[in-house]
Amino acid sequence: TQTQHGAELTACDREPIHILGTLQPHGFLLAGEGADLRIVQASANVPDRPGRLAARIHGQPLGAAFPEIGSAAASDLAAQSGREGANYVRTLTLNTVDGPRSYDLAVHQSSGLTILELEEVASETASAHSLDALYPLLNAFVEGLHTATTAEELCALLAADIRHITGFDRALVYRFDRDWNGTVVAEDGNGVLPSYLDLRFPASDIPAQARELYRRNRLRIIPDAGYEPVPIVPKLTPSTGAPLDLSQSVLRSVSPVHVEYMRNMGTMASMSVSILVDGALWGLISCHNKAPRQVPLRARNACDFLTRIFALQLAAKERGALAEQRLHLGAIQARLLGFMAEEDQFVDGLLNHPEDVLALTGANGAAIVTAEHCRLLGTTPAERQVRGIYDWLSVHHGGEPVYMTDALSAEHPPARSFADLASGLVAISISQKYASYVLWFRPEVVQTVKWGGNPTKVATQDPTGGPDRLHPRKSFEIWKETVQGRSLPWSAPEVDAAKDLRSAVLGIVLRRAEELAALSE
């Protein structure tokens, strides 16, 4: 095998995981069409019932083939229509050839069909996961959310409670960065599986189409990574000629590459719950078990519910922190405006108050640079080097009102020699006519990233090109990378503060020009 970093990413991203056409065997599926939900497709594992062979249900109305489902859930089914997402409906009993069995029913609509999925439940677990049983835990969780002061504490609370509800060996909170790599930010475990706390995993471990699917369907479970996929019969929906879209299914069979990944990780069961903040995928809860483990639908739904409460609280905390920072920077902005207004040359208002100029964006150094002048504030590269940045900016980013980076040397290689002074740069252009900038600098912060396995060897491809030729990495041993040439990132309020200063400066310049014109009339 050979390593093909890059090439395999597109192959991973292209796998159509929502229409693979098979299910996991922890339940069975019926697809009904029309008002009487005539069964047009069914999974191959529908149980036989006394006097009713599963092989004969095709073409029958749901109420005739499964009177128990038809009568118990008729009104619930009507209420489901048009909503996205598989909804847990109720627990019901089916008479099978092996005797009465309890099932949890989940229903959703897909491509004009009503999809019913039934998962067998042991009656003891049903009561353990009833709302009554879960209420004290949900209650304590909500109380805990109020006392948690940081996002880290919130995440730790979530990991512990999700593990408590599900009984997995390990539950972790996994947060995406802007490149879709993820870091384990909280973890709760019983020691059976290794700790992944603080480890980073490459974006390709959860490819783009999977992330998009997980944004729309928040929950998935793989009770036994050793499962045999169950086909849907017939494979194509007769009325459309297309495979069933299983995006919202609770039984959907998962990508074989991922099943192999789980085995390589030493885990036979997994469950993950999407954490959405403002409609975007912020992260996942990822739970694992060394041995196969099933978690009933109602317990999974309780996890989803907990996670949504968590996400609301997290969003509120993040918004609160940003609002506080905006308020703080707004006060500095107001002072700088005052200082500039007092001076004949507005630039003096900035030059005479370097601490406020630096605090405005949280920088260590700043410079005000025009074709003729270069004034330095705080800790900056040498004038010659700042001039180099100025020349580079005017050529490559001349037309942009604001430019920012937290890895300057990646764009402007000469910055490598002064990375310790300026790895982060925010630049605002303060003249419509001439190349003039205010620049802010941040030093390099060398970071050691611990990856869960070498991120440059995320997948291997069999050079003989067999049908199943893509394989995930085998090792999750810690692989350390030293990241150089990067500063701490600029926050949105800091960049906005720089933009606001630009508008203020342009406003002052314009007003002064008009005053001058009026004087000379």
| Residues of this chain that bind ligand BLA (CB under 6 A) | 8, 12, 15, 17, 172, 174, 182, 184, 196, 201, 204-207, 210, 220, 222, 254-255, 257-258, 261, 270, 272, 284, 286, 458-459, 470, 472
Provide long-range contacts, Cβ within 8 A and 24+ apart, for 178-184: 179/203, 180/206, 180/208, 180/211, 181/455, 182/206, 182/283, 182/284, 184/452
Distance CA 107, CA 117 (A): 6
Nearer to ligand BLA, 24 or 380 (CB): 24
Nearer to ligand BLA, 37 or 281 (CB): 281
* Residue, CB closest to ligand BLA: 12
Residue whose C-alpha is closest to residue 145's, from 161, 131, 134:
161
Give least dist CB 405 to ligand BLA, A: 27
Nearer to ligand BLA, 91 or 270 (CB): 270
Give least dist CB 287 to ligand BLA, A: 8
Nearer to ligand BLA, 70 or 194 (CB): 194
Distance CA 509, CA 504 (A): 9
Give least dist CB 82 to ligand BLA, A: 25
Residue whose C-alpha is closest to residue 223's, from 133, 128, 120:
120
Residue whose C-alpha is closest to residue 224's, from 295, 167, 120:
295
Give least dist CB 313 to ligand BLA, A: 22
Give least dist CB 253 to ligand BLA, A: 7
Give least dist CB 184 to ligand BLA, A: 5
Give least dist CB 510 to ligand BLA, A: 52
Residue whose C-alpha is closest to residue 440's, from 321, 358, 318:
358
Q: How many CB atoms lie within 10 A of CB 136?
A: 9
Nearer to ligand BLA, 160 or 508 (CB): 160
Distance CA 521, CA 513 (A): 13
Nearer to ligand BLA, 209 or 385 (CB): 209
Containing 47, the helix (H) or strand (E) segment is none
Nearer to ligand BLA, 114 or 286 (CB): 286
Find tokens 């692989």 and name the residue: 479
Contacts with 355 (C-beta within 8 Å, 6 or more apart), sequence order: none
Q: Which two tokens stand for residue 401?
A: 């009102």
